[in-house]
Amino acid sequence: MLNKYARAFFTRVLTPFAAFLLRRGVSPDAVTLIGTAGVMAGALVFFPRGEFFWGTIVITLFVFSDLVDGNMARQAGISSRWGAFLDSTLDRVADGAIFGGFALWYAGTGDDNALCAVAIFCLASGQVVSYTKARGEAIGLPVAVNGLVERAERLVISLVAAGLAGLHAFGVPGIQVLLPVALWIVAVGSLITLVQRVVTVRRESAEADAAAAEAASEAGA
């Protein structure tokens, strides 16, 4: 849902920056790679040590590369299937690093196996939610559904909560509880979104099969 409204806004805001990078000879693919590397570093260096505030700051600095690279490609007129594939693939890598960082914290110093399992579920369900749409589209279905918790929601909820939870290290009491709450919200929301997409694909596939059968019947007649 956030992706529908926020993406257009941030694309407009980041357009001048994208144009600046193009003038400096930076390619969209380079921005994609650097952005993913930055997100992975922020998540896997800081989160497992419980440094959620600084980890979130680093990730936030790089996560907008997902909007900048596509903007650059459109401005330069070089949008390609390869660029779309690379961007989508590295999005999954970045998401895995973020929730993997949470899982490492709770598996180690955070010492909470239940929350470690929730973080792993968030990681896995996020990958599957993306896969269901990609696979549905690959077999010719529109997958016309806006899920409850898509990638934008997963990132905003988890990163805002992590950043605020990190303020506990600066003496803010009780705020660390926001991260567990956010992980549970993302887990439940991702499960609902997965069900929404599976139901949609099932309905669309049934409609497509019925239409194909009717067309074959009419052709045979």
The whole-number mean pLDDT for each consecutive block of 10 residues of the chain, a chain of 221 residues, reads 62 83 90 95 97 96 84 84 90 96 97 98 95 93 90 94 96 95 97 96 94 84 63
pLDDT at 4: 56
Residue type, 90: L
pTM value?
Answer: 0.90
Instruction: Number of helices (H) and strands (E) in the chain: give both, helices first.
Output: 8, 0
Q: Which residues of 143-178 are buried (b: 16+ CB within 10 A; e: fewer)?
A: bebebbbbbbbbbbbbbebbbbbbebeeeeeebbeb
pLDDT at 18: 86
DSSP-derived letter for residue 49 is: G
Q: Is residue 91 among the annotated active site residues? A: yes
Distance of CA 163 to the CA centre of its chain: 17
Token pair belonging to 165? 């939870």
Choosing from 29, 66, 69, 91, the catalytic residue is: 91
CA dist 145 to 26, 92, 130, 194, Å?
35, 20, 12, 11
pLDDT at 3: 56
pLDDT at 1: 53
Token pair belonging to 53? 């505030």
